[in-house]
Chains A and B, each alone.
Chain A
Amino acid sequence: DAGVIQSPRHEVTEMGQEVTLRCKPISGHNSLFWYRQTMMRGLELLIYFNNNVPIDDSGMPEDRFSAKMPNASFSTLKIQPSEPRDSAVYFCASSPQGTWGYTFGSGTRLTVV
């Protein structure tokens, strides 16, 4: 099993640009989570999906952030336009629904300059 795969590993972009982060969950896992990690705020849950349906997006900081899960094997987190305060490590995690076996990807380190 390849685990949860995130791409890119590192992203440097200029303020105002659109950024798309990608995640491929573990096959058979039907829950997917996006987290953001910063020194100031720690690990924050942004949004999570069950069976490709967004369940709770209350952690999405503002309308500049959007997430989609078009199928069971792929999810994106998009920031448009990006701002320097969006700089963080973004983690994707997946889990078989109801078993709480969360597996995290290696993260995407985003730097907005």
Chain B
Amino acid sequence: AQSVTQPDIHITVSEGASLELRCNYSYGATPYLFWYVQSPGQGLQLLLKYFSGDTLVQGIKGFEAEFKRSQSSFNLRKPSVHWSDAAEYFCAVVPSGNTGKLIFGQGTTLQVKP
């Protein structure tokens, strides 16, 4: 079945440590790929997106993501996490050929230890 999966429901990292959040998709063709962040009680903010071209995408707040076609993955990374990065992170896709239906993964909650 077509889906987008975030294997980690909850991740805890220490402030200053590096971060990688995983995202895998299951679609026949490469979809458009997105990462969003949601702070408690807030809406969703776009961190970055990938449509084509360079497989390493830079986003806001120091985040980057790498598209790996062979692994059907689009993992989010940050070299050094700040306490303010604690939030829920969503990977999302627009399936190839679709008219715009943005489909979300289940989300990963990031906790940052001081």
Contacts and interface: CB of A to CB of B under 8 A. Distances in A.
Interface of A: 4, 31, 33, 35, 42-43, 45, 48, 50, 55-56, 91, 93, 95, 97-98, 100-107
Interface stretch (B17-25, B44-52, B61-69, B72-80): B44-52
A43 B104 CA distance: 6
Contacts of A102: 34, 46, 102
Given A42-B106, A42-B107, A100-B94, A31 B44 contact: no
Given A42-B106, A100-B32, A100-B94, A106 B100 contact: no
Q: Main SS of the interface on chain A?
A: strand
Nearest to B100: A31
A13 B100 CA distance: 32
A106 B39 CA distance: 11
Contacts, number: 50
Contact of B102 (A42, A45, A98): A45
A56 B46 contact: no
A48 B43 contact: no
A91 B104 contact: no
Contacts of A95: 100
B101 A104 contact: no
15 contacts: A4-B43, A33-B102, A42-B106, A42-B107, A43-B104, A43-B107, A45-B103, A48-B100, A56-B101, A93-B102, A97-B100, A100-B94, A100-B100, A102-B102, A104-B36
